[in-house]
């Protein structure tokens, strides 16, 4: 199992996308934690201490800029690998300009292989 022994938080508010990501990750051996908005994601990152997270760029509640800023400013979360999931690849520049770079990006739509490979690379690096 490529992601066996890894805990991954999925921050996603779209039910179909959440189900797809969760199923793929669990099928590949990951333990999955789910957040439906940015505020819940921040709370779960701090309590669950996942190895990685997928973060939908368009989340209700705390927006992605604020969430990334909080995560970046928390020394206990320095090892967290963050993969931004977005249907709007042009937003990468906005994140980069604000020095809120994530470790990886997946542009919607993506395949099972894209998801697993991206997370394996993040976790290996």
- Report the DSSP beta bridge partners of residue 35: 11
**What is the three-class DSSP state of 28?**
coil
Q: In what order do the strands lie in the sheet with 81-86?
A: 31-35, 7-11, 52-56, 81-86, 104-107
CA distance 4 to 53: 15
pLDDT in tens, 73-119: 889 987 899 999 988 777 767 777 666 668 888 988 999 999 999 99
By C-alpha distance, which of 14, 103, 92, 18 is closest to 52? Answer: 103
- Per-residue pLDDT band for 14 (boundaries 50, 70, 90) equals very high
What domains can you pick out in the chain, each with its CATH number?
A: 7-110 (3.40.50.2300)
What residues have CB less than 8 Å from 50, skipping those under 6 apart?
Answer: 7, 8, 9, 33, 44, 80
């Amino acid at each position: 199992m490529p992601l066996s022994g890894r805990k991954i938080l999925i921050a996603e508010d779209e039910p179909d996308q959440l189900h797809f990501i969760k199923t793929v990750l669990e099928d590949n051996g990951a333990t999955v934690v789910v957040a439906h908005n940015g505020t819940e994601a921040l709370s779960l990152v701090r309590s669950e201490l996942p190895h990685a997270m997928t973060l939908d760029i368009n989340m209700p509640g705390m927006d992605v800029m604020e969430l990334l800023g909080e995560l970046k400013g928390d020394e206990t979360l320095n090892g967290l690998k963050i993969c931004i999931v977005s249907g709007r690849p042009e937003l990468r520049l906005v994140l980069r300009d604000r020095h809120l770079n994530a470790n990886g990006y997946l542009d919607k739509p993506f395949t099972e292989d894209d998801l697993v490979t991206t997370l394996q690379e993040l976790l290996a690096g």
